[in-house]
Amino acid sequence: MVKVTSPSTEISWSARERLASVRYMPGTMLASKDGDFLIESLSDWIGKEGEPFAVFANAAGLHGTDAEYRARASGFFRQHRDTAFIALINLGPVIHVVVELFRVGTGIQLKTFANEAAARSWLRAKGIAV
């Protein structure tokens, strides 16, 4: 397990599961630098072979995202549309709307869940060994 942190985000990577677990600091508003941090971390871990990978994010504490963050993240995940799976829990009402717009706009495989067990079950059904 590898862990990286920024002022807003903590990401743990399990190479065996090909799973990035993401947590946000309370009150976080994601900006372009946060998108760069996520993309750089994932790019280092997922490799160039096109193997499936997942992001499991606990959005508790996340208050919003700016347009630059969304543009960076959507560009990355569009490139990995067929191999990336994103499961999210603990979304506030504003973040839930932002996430749904992001999902529809990018066509990526992203789903929100009421709890961690349901999110992990969906990831297992997608072939991610969580």
d(CA 12, CA 2): 6
H-helix or E-strand spanning residue 42: helix 32-46
How far apart (Å, rounded) are the C-alpha atoms in residues 16 and 37? 22
Architecture of domain 2-125: 2-Layer Sandwich (3.30)
Query: What tokens appear for 56 in the block?
Result: 């499991």
Domain edges within the chain = 2-125
- Alpha carbons within 13 angstroms on the beta-carbon side of residue 77 total 22
Model pTM score = 0.93
Sorted by sequence, the CB contacts under 8 Å of residue 37 that are 6+ apart come out as 4, 6, 8, 9
Q: pLDDT tens track of the chain, all 130 residues?
A: 999 999 999 999 999 999 999 999 999 999 999 999 999 999 999 998 899 999 999 999 899 999 999 999 999 999 999 999 999 999 999 899 999 998 998 899 999 999 999 999 999 999 998 7
